Amino acid sequence: LTSRLQRFGTTIFTEMSALSLRHDAVNLGQGFPDFDAPAALTEAAQRAIGEGRNQYAPGNGIPALRRAVAEHAARHHGLTYDPDTEVTVTTGATEALFATLNALCDVGDEVVVIEPAFDVYPAAASMAGAVVKGVPLRPDEVNGGWRLDTGDLVAATSRATRAIIINTPMNPLGKTFSDQELELVVKVAGALDAVIISDEVYEHMVFDGPHRSICHVPGARERTVRISSAAKTFSVTGWKVGWACAPPELTDAIRAAKQWTTFTSGTPLQHAVAEALVWDDTYVEDMAADYLRRRDLLCEALDRIGFGVTVPDGTFFVACDIRPLGFDDDMAFCNRLPEAVGVGAIPIQVFHTDPMAHTGLARFAFCKTDEALAEGIARLEA
Ligand code: PMP
Ligand code: GLN
């Protein structure tokens, strides 16, 4: 194993899900729904397979899906993309991130990630030969939650900064970035002529008003790769259908990398997602309302149990402070929880370049059935 991979070990999601399975725990760790996808979507995939749509799709994605991605971005977010020159279908948002970073980074280039950062960012940047610069968020003493500090972001950048990755709503904290924070990222990226990689896979899980894409900030759209996927929106994390939307020059670069990673992505699933993306708004509205209900159910229980709960503005995760319960090290806590209590969670320290400086937060997922949430809560309470 190369040194650039060695230090990343096994992803925490694999480790913690295995632990949950071993101890027959309720897995509130890894973020995947334990309920099925909409029937209309799974039927569309079965239809596509039955109709013989089983050979290589065009490398950039089938035209119907690229059109649907563009239509969806326009209808839900008021963002305009040309399906032919600005949309690329990828094997999940994960490949969009990998292809983008490998297309853009030369060895020694720097990639700035806002921490706690989804673990794919540093690993993919490192595989591209880039150096990762972490910017830890600070506790927001005024509004609660966490905030991006101007000085911290500036300090993490240099003339070698090639890209800044922002994820809003943000895994694992459930934070949505304010307009001021998004403007700060655009200002800093603009001054360095860096690319913004905007991971918006939780775009439809926003509880405090409409989703704010960084692409709306003046000066952002022309330097931003906007990434999303079907995984969360349609409860199909196993499908791995994602996309990257970016100006033509950046799109050409992403496509150049994508052709050598997977060449093309699963054909019948692309046909199905193309249908779902243009469903009317009630689907995503109902889903968001349902997640809001699950969020409140879990947050109220965790608060009652004694965790320090920061109610998330988005995603299907809640980050909890374990210190009010007398614990300190979230890694040790999450390692013990499945066996001791019968519940799985994710330690947040692993999402920091300097883990031990940021211990004490555990992440619970509420993309789970009412029965699973109730059972998990009952076990934690007991
Ligand atoms: N980005 C974030 C922030 C995520 O939480 C996930 C979840 N897996 C992904 C990207 C990857 O999405 P996909 O399954 O479409 O590759
Ligand atoms: N995004 C999922 C989570 O945060 C896990 C995806 C993965 O295993 N990479 O739980």
pLDDT (mean) for 72-80: 97
Give the Cα separation of 362 and 374 in Å (integer).
19
The architecture that CATH gives domain 39-276 is 3-Layer(aba) Sandwich (3.40)
pLDDT digits (tens, 9 = 90+) for 358-367: 999 999 999 9
pLDDT band per the 50, 70, 90 thresholds, residue 44: very high
pLDDT at 294: 98
The response to whether residue 116 sits with its C-beta less than 6 Å from ligand 2 reads: no
Residue ranges covered by each domain of the chain: 3-30+282-381, 39-276
Token code pair at residue 91: 């094997």
Q: Is the pLDDT of residue 290 over 90?
A: yes
Residue with the larger pLDDT of the pair 2 and 64: 64
CB 181 within 8 A of CB 167: no
Q: What percent of the chain has pLDDT over 70?
A: 100
State residue 135's pLDDT score.
Answer: 98
Tell me, in angstroms, the distance from the centre of ligand 1 to residue 131's CA: 21
| Distance from Cα 298 to the centre of ligand 2, integer Å | 19
Q: Report, as an integer, the average pLDDT of 270-292.
A: 97
Side chain identity at residue 134, one-letter code: G
| Per-residue pLDDT at 286 | 96
Q: What is the mean pLDDT of residues 138-145?
A: 94
Beta bridge partners of 136: 115
Task: Give the residue, out of 120, 200, 241, 262, with the most ligand 1 atoms within 8 A of its beta carbon, to mutate for a pocket test.
Answer: 120
The finding on whether 229 has its CB within 6 A of some atom of ligand 1 is yes
Indicate the pLDDT class of residue 54, thresholds 50, 70 and 90.
very high
Cα–Cα distance for residue pair 356/371, rounded to 1 Å:
35
Q: Is the pLDDT of residue 7 over 90?
A: no
CATH class held by domain 3-30+282-381: alpha beta
- What's the pLDDT at 3? 87
| Ligand of minimum distance to the alpha carbon of 198 | 1
Identify the H or E element spanning 145: none
Is the pLDDT at 98 greater than 90, yes or no?
yes
Whole-angstrom distance, CA of residue 322 vs CA of residue 306: 8
Question: What is residue 202's predicted lDDT score, i.e. its pLDDT?
Answer: 98
Side chain identity at 71, as an amino acid letter?
E
Task: Name the pLDDT band for 78 (thresholds 50, 70, 90).
Answer: very high
Q: Which helix (H) or strand (E) holds 376?
A: helix 370-381
User: Which are the contacts of 304, defined by CB distance < 8 A and separation ≥ 6?
Assistant: 381
Give me 154's structure tokens. 């500036």
Predicted local confidence at residue 208, as pLDDT: 83
- C-alpha–C-alpha distance, residues 76 and 68, integer Å: 12
Tell me the average pLDDT across 43-50.
98
How much distance in Å is there from the Cα of 190 to the middle of ligand 2? 30
Q: How far is the CA of 202 from the centre of ligand 1 (A)?
A: 9
* Res 353: pLDDT: 94
pLDDT of residue 128 exceeding 90, the answer is yes
Structure tokens at 139: 């506790």
Q: Hey, whose CA ends up nearest to atom 7 of ligand 2? A: 13
Q: Is the pLDDT of residue 209 over 90?
A: no
- Ligand 1 within 6 A of CB of 201: yes
Mean pLDDT (whole number) for 127-147: 96
What's the 20 CA to ligand 2 centre distance in angstroms?
A: 15
The whole-number pLDDT of residue 97 equals: 98
164 close to 135: Cβ distance less than 8 angstroms = no
Residue 148, helix vs strand vs coil: coil
- Phi-psi sector, 258: left (phi>0), alpha (psi -120 to 50), beta: alpha
In this prediction, residue 296 carries a pLDDT of 98
| The predicted structure's pLDDT at residue 157 | 98
Nearest to 279 by CA among 44, 93, 52: 44
Is residue 228 within 8 A of residue 203, CB to CB? The reply is yes
Mean pLDDT score of the chain: 97
* One-character DSSP codes across 44-70: HHHHHHHTT--S---TT--HHHHHHHH
- Gap between the Cα atoms of 30 and 17, Å rounded: 6
Q: Is 167 in the pocket of ligand 1 (CB under 6 A)?
A: yes
* Average confidence (pLDDT) over 199-217: 96
Measured from the CB, is residue 30 less than 6 Å from ligand 2? yes
In tens, the pLDDT along 148-197 reads 999 999 999 999 999 999 999 999 999 999 999 999 999 999 999 999 99
- Ligand 2 centre to CA of 218 (Å) is 31
Q: At what angle do helices 39-50 and 267-276 cross, to 10 degrees?
A: 140
Quote the DSSP letter at residue 5.
H
